[in-house]
Amino acid sequence: MKQRLQFVLMCAVLSVVMMSGCSLSSETISDCFVSRQYKKLALPTFSSYIMNVASGDSGRIDVYYSIPYQHLHFEKADNGFFGSYTFSVVLRSENGDILQSKDVQRSVTARTYDESVSSQIDAFLLTVPAPPGTYMLEMSAVDNGSGLQYRRRKKITARNFHIENPPQKGFQLGDTSIAASDFLLLENVTAGKNGISLRPAFPTSLALLKDSLGIFQEVYNVHAGDSLRVSFSYRVSKVTPPRPYYYSAPTALGYFRRFSPCGQKFDSVLYRKDSVMTASSNGTLQLIQFYPKPPERYVEIVRTIVRTRNGISDSTVNSLKVLVTTPSFPDVVSPAELADAMLFLARGSETDSLLNAHTDSMRIAIIAGFWKRHGGAEKMQAFQQRLREANELFTACMEGWKTPMGIVYLVCGPPEYVDCQASLYETWYYTAGSTTLSIPFRMVPQSDDTEPVYYDIVPYSINDYAWQYFVDRWR
């Protein structure tokens, strides 16, 4: 069953690519955003977390990664199901020269078929020496059973944690400024015979945390007696995301108003905690602290460490932006969210009912009544499956089904034809009866390299009557 699903997904990928306006070179295929997203569903997709730490007089890159069982190929054997894959890391210079490379062979055993297609993960850590500088980090996973490969490339800057400061009042010549590694998100910490073991929490799975989030970080260049103040906060944007856009009548304007939480300023502090400590020895200080679980929204996690020595202070700041979703993600099970998604299919009094429903019981009754009139349980399950797929494909700084691409996918399904121009513009085409519906997207500029890729719809570009053709197919 799993092999058949992978085959179907790969067929979908190939059909999207072959029907696209791009040629079939690997360069142009990689430029088609929707093609890349489709491929993720069938390839050995992994999550990664990169941490830059000091190591002796230089530094290193720690690559934490996790891959779900459901993204691997398993073969049945007498006593279970077996799979294997190879994870590789290549560190390149800015000129493309290979400086370091490492790989690890992993074998995975599942006791049952259900476990082999579950979200249970296999996780590992690879470390790569990295002197201060800017590099291109390539990470890849090759499923040994299917031969499929998933690759990610990320530009990274390895910091110099031992930069000499000019002498200043209160400091001795040769003292260095305070520095800190990237912080590692922690699920928990366990003590064993071999010391403390840290279990990382990947940014993509923070919703699964029960009640708290841990932070591990190393602080360098401290002296005995230094005072350290660690300030931790969750920051969000003051701008409240609007409800998903909807069509209230068949003649409504076929254009989604622009809104993207990507690029919004994190200008409101939801939680903050300060802690003060005194260093007891010279060298490196390791910090492990736990905080309440972040709220379910797009959040910036900020840590500022201020060192004070002889009345003079210096500081270092680290931050990370993450989307915290509900534990049920990518499924949409909340009656409030389901009601919002239903607005794209509703008309007239149905829209008013969904907007005016203020309790979950009211929303459930309205949703059940809608599907009873329009296709029954089978149609309802197809819609909820489409919601899940939109989340898997298009999640950025908000859930995938709320993005413009996700909304189009939710109502119209996979595009029949794709025309992509580099990575900046992409047009989806659908056959709508005797006409063609074309929906052009354009990439929203990213404020920095940490922002996810996000596409908006070109304003006033949709044929509303053709759009309603797809709405009618749900009704």
Closest CA to 213 of 290, 286, 327, 270: 290
The reported pLDDT for the residue numbered 3 is 38
CB 162 within 8 A of CB 181: no
Rg (CA), the chain: 25
Residue 154, CB half-sphere, CA atoms under 13 Å: how many? 20
Task: Look at residue 11 and give its three-state secondary structure.
Answer: helix
The reported pLDDT for the residue numbered 258 is 59
* Antiparallel, parallel or unpaired: β 455-457 and 435-443: antiparallel
Closest CA to 227 of 349, 154, 315, 119: 315
Domains, the chain: 43-156 (2.60.40.10), 161-324 (2.60.40.10), 335-474 (no CATH)
What CA–CA distances, in Å, run from 308 to 51, 224, 225? 26, 11, 9
The pLDDT averaged over each successive group of 10 residues in the chain (475 residues) is 39 44 38 84 91 89 94 92 96 93 95 92 92 94 94 91 58 69 92 82 88 94 93 91 58 52 87 95 92 93 94 91 92 94 89 91 95 93 96 92 92 92 88 92 78 82 86 92
pTM of the model: 0.85
Q: pLDDT tens, 382-440?
A: 999 999 999 999 998 889 999 889 999 999 999 999 998 877 889 999 999 899 999 99
> Residues, the chain, total?
475
Q: For 460, phi and psi rounded to 5 degrees?
A: 55, 45
The reported pLDDT for the residue numbered 256 is 54
The reported pLDDT for the residue numbered 175 is 60
